[in-house]
Amino acid sequence: MKSVILPLEAKDIEKIIPHRSPFLLVDRVIELELSKSIKALKSISMNEPYFMGHFPGYPVMPGVLIIEALAQTAAVLATLSFETQEDELYFFASITNARFKRPVFPGDTLILEASILNQKSGVGKFSVKASVDYEVATEAEITCARKNIG
């Protein structure tokens, strides 16, 4: 079993998943139980490029980017928990039961949580939830699949 020292900052996360700014949507991992669950944070700044057009005068984080942040969080958990080779990545494969319960605004801090529901042969299913101030913003079940890119 791997040993992980928390918190994981963006520079550490970049060693685990391939995403980079401005598309790295996980700022910090604050809790991790390998093969079980993860909790991470994403600070939402008014300087995010998508706010210029979504929506002028009423900036709201696009729901697909909240889902992407959750998928990246799940990918960090999967990569650290399961046997993964250097030339393998976890890709977002599917989403079910997605619910968007509150908008996410500039200045919010997203709390990103993922729990492993099951994993077999490089495919993991996760229960994911994004919250702001203890209020659920988005929840879903997602599947990530490991793929050799070498």
For the chain, the residue count is 150
DSSP run (H or E) holding 12? helix 10-13
Give me the DSSP letters along 59-88: ----HHHHHHHHHHHHHHHHHHHS---TTE
Catalytic sites, residue numbers = 54
Q: Please, is 72 exposed, middle or buried when counting C-beta atoms within 10 Å of its C-beta (0-12, 13-18, 19+)?
A: buried
Neighbours of 51 (CB within 10 A): 19
Amino acid at 102: R
From the list 34, 11, 148, the residue with the least C-alpha distance to 81 is 34
